[in-house]
Chains A and B, each alone.
Chain A
Amino acid sequence: MLNSYFNFTSGEYILELVCPAGNLPSLKAAVDNGADAVYIGFKDDTNARHFAGLNFNDKKALSGLNYAKERGVKVFAAINTYAQTGGFIRWQQAVDRAQELQLDALILADIGVMDYACEKYPDLRLHLSVQASATNPEALEFYHRNFNIQRAVLPRVLSVKQVEQVAQFSPVPIEVFGFGSLCVMVEGRCLLSSYATGRSPNTYGACSPGSHVQWQEKANGVLETRLNNVLIDRFQEGEKAGYPTLCKGRFEVNKHTFYALEEPTSLNTLSLLPQLQKIGVTALKIEGRQRSPAYVALVTQILRDAIDTMKKDPEHYQAKDEWMDELLKVSEGSQTTLGAYHRPWQ
């Protein structure tokens, strides 16, 4: 596979660092701390972080784009939810807006939106979103052939071995998640949030929308989380909390109450960087457009440092303890994992 992310001098793939920004200060924090690219969303349900007060209007997007471009950093727009019947015009407008702003790439999941974008703006660079849930080279070949996608973000359900197999035969460069909150990772197909609230990331752009979340701390220090009045978790005093999603709730199964689906946790791939580079991953994505500029600055800085250190000497590279400790502090549930990357049985 030949692409612009291959450095012919060093013989290595370039691990481009793609960082999240939910607002202008976060975008600047990403740029200032070593991002190669920043991804943003517009202020509506066309992106999967559709939360109150978050995201970019045209003025802020333009201002962010200028800031990034002046410093040689790319800006992508995530238009990665599924267009709803009767509302397709919003997704068209989001694509038009991205074209007008001359953003560097669009991250899309819906084939209708992809079709609109590639027919109307053939020169617009398209990336396949993780929400499209494409896990094999044949699927990527389909998206490449029909919509001319230039890069694909792989779902987080794949092991490193599987990422390698996909990357080997993929017609386009591969991007994977490098750090951030984990969910059940049935990307683009998860309806758990809809089950409790009638709204999910694919349709409304948010998992557990704020309007349906209630936090309540009892006098004894126990914090209760409810989603549409359904109790989904109870944190003892001092116990670390996580996001109010159904997949990270504790449920009674066979008379035992526990994290039946998964614990609140964050993915951390620092220890895998040499492997990811070796198998030809071209970009590493940080999750968290809903987080603050302080998170973006910290995580971008550590990932930048780690990638640069690894590139200097991949064979002797080791994730530093101080990086891991700092990342733990901003991790959900205060724990991190290699997630599916590390599952030998897959």
Chain B
Amino acid sequence: MNTTTATQDSMRKINKYPNKQPILPALLAIPVASIPEKYSAKAIVKSLNIMLAQSLDEGDLDFLEGQNVSVEIVDLKLKFGLSLGDGILIASSWQTKDSLNLSGNLYDFMLLASRKEDSDALFFHRRLKMEGSTNLGLEVKNLLDGMDLDTVRFHKLLDFALHHCIKVFEKLFK
């Protein structure tokens, strides 16, 4: 529960926003951390290419041409980079200062992927970090927000999995 105050009846503020978001225990990240970066990046990119085939065909991701996005899922100890080449997503190496750097914890990325949380709110709360090209960040954010889920292959399965993972996280790792 948040602690909120009302000052003079007109102002309300979160004094103590719980920074106790569920975090994956370090022990559970070991299997992922032990996979070499290039293999995990290839697996992620391959899955994304299957899921986003229609959006890729329609050119919705063309803005990634010539741009590298580096993503870090901090508690999962997972880092990967991606870009666009010949109309499909390709793996690239993770870099500290890429065209766009996104980082956050697994729980927050799951909330974003399942559209349960607003990305600007996560950013305001410092749970999602974004550095590099703000325009590219906006393109990525608006692509994800604006995507018709019916065009995403296996989205029902993904939704189901995310929904349950989020519940497990909230129950076990808070």
A contact set with B: CB distance below 8 Å: 22-26, 51-54, 60, 209-211, 213-217, 223, 235, 237-242, 244, 264, 268, 271, 290-295, 298, 321, 324-325, 328-338, 342
- Asked if residues B143 and A240 are in contact (CB atoms below 8 Å), the reply is no
The answer to whether B120 touches A336 (Cβ under 8 A) is no
8 intermolecular pairs with C-beta atoms under 8 Å apart: A53-B143, A54-B142, A210-B134, A210-B137, A241-B124, A291-B118, A328-B14, A334-B125
B34 CB within 8 Å of chain A: no
Secondary structure at the A interface, as helix, strand, loop or mixed, is mixed
Choose one: B115, B135, B145; the contact of A52 (CB below 8 Å): B135
Other A-B pairs, 7, CB within 8 Å; known A291-B120, A325-B4, A329-B2: A239-B126, A324-B12, A325-B2, A328-B4, A334-B125, A335-B14, A338-B10
- When distances are taken between beta carbons in the complex, the residues of chain A under 8 Å from B149 are 25
Question: Given A210-B138, A215-B130, A290-B120, does the pair A23, B146 have CB atoms closer than 8 Å?
Answer: yes
Contact of B139 among A25, A53, A329, A330 (CB under 8 A): A53
CA distance A334 to B63 in the complex (A): 32
Return the contact of B118 from the options A209, A215, A264, A330 (Cβ within 8 A): A330
Cβ contacts under 8 Å, A333 to chain B: 124
Docked-complex contact B4 and A217, CB < 8 angstroms: no
- Within the complex, which residue of B9, B19, B146 is in contact with A22, where a contact is CB–CB below 8 Å? B146
On B, residues with C-beta under 8 Å from A are: 1-2, 4, 9-14, 17, 19, 63, 115-121, 123-126, 129-131, 133-143, 145-149
The reply to whether A51 and B12 contact each other, CB–CB distance below 8 Å, is no
How far apart sit A237 and B126, CA to CA, in the bound complex (Å)?
8
Q: Report how far A25 CA is from B147 CA in the complex, Å.
A: 7
CB-defined contacts of A332 to chain B, threshold 8 Å: 124
Chain A residues lying within 8 Å of B116, measured Cβ to Cβ, are 294
Q: How far apart sit A290 and B119, CA to CA, in the bound complex (Å)? A: 10
With both beta carbons as reference points, the residue of chain A lying nearest to B103 in the complex is identified as A217
Q: Which residue of A lies closest to B147 (CB)?
A: A25
In the bound complex, do residue A52 and residue B118 qualify as a contact, i.e. CB atoms below 8 Å apart?
no
Q: Is the CB of A53 within 8 A of B124?
A: no
